[in-house]
Amino acid sequence: MTADQARARARELAHLNAFISLTEEQGDGPAVAVKDLVDVRGTVTTAGGVILPPVPAVRDAPVIERMRTHGAVVMGKASLHEFAYGATSNNPHYGPVRNPHDPERVAGGSSGGSAVAVAMGMCDWALGSDTGGSIRIPAAFCGVVGFKPTLGTVDTEGVIPLSRTQDTLGPLAPDVATAAHALEAMSELTDLVPARPRTRAELKLGVPRGWAGQLALDETTAQAWGRVGKGIPEVDFPDRERLHEAGIAILLLEAYAYHQRWFEEVPEKYGEDVRALLEQGSRVPRQRYVEALLEMSRLRAEADAALAGLDAILLPVSPYVAPLIGQVLERGTLLGFTRPFNVTGQPVIALPAPTTGLPVGIQVIGRSGTERDLVDVALALEAEWRAS
């Protein structure tokens, strides 16, 4: 679609709060929505907050420069959870991003606007970021594909950070092939889509032993997971809590380090949830941070070794479907299946599972640096699940 067509659609569906601003860029496309923590020349970068100066960026972030060489036209800056520090996109400054399947439910976060824009045809694909699940969770809740590549695949310069050690950029798209081509436009990767994808019968898959039973799945998610995970053997994998604890310690301190000056000078300009997380980060001991970084390096080696001989492992994205806006969630559950893979740094594609209720997302996880193989696996699963 053209950028004008995309913006017209975004204005028509403005009640979903998918965008903070729209551009005036022209071109034949693809029309791309960009999460509003990435610098796009001529637009103000808000990061979903009200602290950054309201001054238009004078240059594109490197990822935007690269996308433009592939013909991408930025049609708007998508809304998000404030400073990408949350998984609902309930933004106190710009309004909650609303789920297209039920506007009373969250879109997921922090790349909520990007997911809604894709789900409702407001763009051809969207750019999101992922530090603990921020591409995969909104993709799952909105029923689209989300691609978190291997850590370091996409340049994060010119992007407001959350946790520099774990931040990644990646696409959200209506299908796997589009997501793969979008990642090619964002990075140096090429030829991600095979000429002849494998079939489901050719794949060797696994499920991390004991993980799926550690978080209570709601009925819709349990039914979807039961269908797609049936018969897949469990395999040894690093402990989920061990991964989670290392990741949260690093995130809390790195986020606080970036926000410390503002947090001390203008704490009232943060939403309540983000302010509480920054307060928590201020209390993380430096020694704990160093220990977590060392633990991360060990876990990455263990995780890649655990996938030896496998094409991918599968897990739900979230233990439940999109919750209601304002619903109080049990601490640690929403990112319980996603945060570990920001610690391992491995590539993950979130796929819509076959379901008759609200959307359910399934993570397809590969070894670090194997995006091409992971796309092959995801295409096979997508074809099977769409036919079922």
> CB under 8 Å to 266, separation ≥6 — which residues?
51
Domains in the chain (CATH in brackets) are: 3-186 (3.90.1300.10), 200-241+292-387 (3.90.1300.10)
Reported in sequence order, the residue ranges of 124-194 that DSSP labels E, i.e. its strands, are 125-130, 145-148, 168-173
Report the catalytic residues: 35, 110, 134
> CB under 8 Å to 247, separation ≥6 — which residues?
132, 166, 292, 296, 339, 340, 342, 343
Residue 67 pLDDT? 98
Residue 97 pLDDT? 98
Distance between the two ends of the chain, CA-based, in angstroms? 29
For the chain, the residue count is 388
pLDDT (tens place) for every residue of the chain, 388 residues total? 999 999 999 999 999 999 999 999 999 889 999 999 999 999 999 999 999 999 999 999 999 999 999 999 999 999 999 999 999 999 999 999 999 999 999 999 999 999 999 999 999 999 999 999 999 999 999 999 999 999 999 999 999 999 999 999 999 999 999 999 999 999 999 999 999 989 999 999 999 999 988 999 999 999 999 999 999 999 999 999 999 999 999 999 999 999 999 999 999 999 999 999 999 999 999 999 999 999 999 999 999 999 999 999 999 999 999 999 999 998 889 999 999 999 999 999 999 999 989 999 999 999 999 999 999 999 999 999 998 8
> CB under 8 Å to 226, separation ≥6 — which residues?
none
Residue 199 pLDDT? 94
- The two tokens of residue 275 are 């302010």
Is pTM, for the whole model, over 0.95?
yes
Residue 304 pLDDT? 96
From CA 93, how far away is CA 49, in angstroms rounded? 7
Residue 235 pLDDT? 97
CA 85 to chain centre: 12
Ordered DSSP codes for 92-118? TTTEEPEETTEEEEE--SSSHHHHHHH
Cα-Cα-Cα-Cα dihedral sign, residues 54, 59, 62, 64: positive
Between vectors from CA 72 to CA 172 and to CA 110, what angle results, nearest 5°?
Answer: 30
